[in-house]
Amino acid sequence: MHIPDGFLSTPVWLSLDAAAIPAVAWAARRAQTELERPDDRRVPLLGVMGAFVFAAQMINFPVGMGTSGHLVGGALLAITLGPAAAMIVMTAILILQALIFQDGGLVTLGANVLNMAVAGVLAGYLPYRLLGRGKARTGAIFLSGFCSVAVSATLALSELLISGVPVPRQLLWISVVLFLISAIMEGAITAAAIRAIEGMNPLWIRASQPLQPATVVLSMLGAAGLLATGIAIASSQPDALQALLPGQSEATSEGWLRRAALGLMAMVFLYAACLFAGRKIARQRSA
């Protein structure tokens, strides 16, 4: 769902870039209440979850009709970290993807941030917030993942259509079906991931228990293994949005070793960036 450069009209991408800046600033202020403990005990979870989602996004799986999909992770981050902190982490992920892997454009970074890091995270958090405390918890988590992708995809398609990108009606409906399939898979993966995290330690979900250093190290090693495996087995087929855009249907081939090395470096940098940002936000709250 990353929109590349060259497809949004200038008024559209300028407006979205301008809107993304205050939206992320608002999220940073709101995150102060989610990281309110002065001992920074939950801050390492931002880096761990950011690294995990970044690694999981490398696993492209076929969804049919010559296209692929992958975990977006907005709902997963929102449920584990809180919506505001999740927006900050997802923004960092999108920036790294654009800079290192050219996954999404630099000019359209604001659009991708608003679509996935702001609207996608909020849409993914709302069902969990409303329904996730009772017997329908698993269903609420599934719905969170589904809504996160559905909203992000709808916004991306709308922005492309407003920009005048020529999309044949039949291809548009095919893309809608593919996005729905991706949303269903996102919901299923999100529910499975949350249940797995709760199985390891239920207090990690929006709770105050700190991560032990050994847990952080093991989690990062697991994320590194997931990233390397994901790159090795990733489908070479384009995603639904790439298949929709002219000239974007052919996936670029890149050496596994180089891509894995870049991914590992980006993952470590992402962890450090999330750790730094989280500690700064928490200290501003406690000051």
125's tokens: 């958090």
Report pLDDT for 241. Answer: 78
- Mean pLDDT, rounded, for 169-192: 90
User: Could you give the CA distance from residue 263 to residue 55 in angstroms, rounded to a whole number?
Assistant: 8
Q: What is the pLDDT of residues 127-152, one digit of tens each?
A: 999 998 878 899 999 999 999 999 99
Say what the pLDDT of residue 91 is: 96
- Predicted local confidence at residue 286, as pLDDT: 55
247 occurs within a structural domain:
yes
Q: What is the mean pLDDT of residues 85-97?
A: 94
Say if 164 falls within a structural domain: yes
3-state DSSP call for residue 5?
coil
Q: Residue 122 has what pLDDT?
A: 97
| pLDDT exceeds cutoff 70 at 232 | yes
- The more confidently predicted of residues 106 and 207 is 106
Is 4 among the domain residues? no
Per-residue confidence (pLDDT) for residue 164, from 0 to 100: 92
Q: How many domains does one find in the chain? A: 1
Identify whether 136 is part of a domain: yes
CA 169 to chain centre: 28
Mean pLDDT, all residues of the chain: 85
- Whichever domain contains 91, its CATH number is 1.10.1760.20
229 has a pLDDT exceeding 50: yes
pTM for this entry = 0.89
- The mean pLDDT of 248-268, rounded to a whole number, is 75
In a domain, 103, yes or no: yes
Instruction: For residue 199, give both structure tokens.
Output: 């199985």
Share of the chain above pLDDT 70, in %: 89
More confident residue, 255 or 86: 86
CA proximity to 50, closest of 201, 284, 266, 198: 266
Domain membership of residue 1 (yes or no) is no
In angstroms, the CA 247 to CA 245 distance is 6
Which pLDDT value is given to residue 38? 47
pLDDT band at 67 (very low <50, low <70, confident <90, very high): confident
Question: Is residue 2 a part of any domain in this protein?
Answer: no
| Highest mean pLDDT pick, 51-55, 63-67, 87-91, 254-258 | 87-91
**Quick check: is 5 in a domain?**
no
Which residue did the predictor score with more confidence, 278 or 190?
190
Identify the pLDDT of residue 239: 78
CB contact burial 35-70 (16+ within 10 A = b; e otherwise): beeeebebbbbbbbbbbbbbbbbbbbbebeeebbbb
Domain that holds residue 175: 10-281
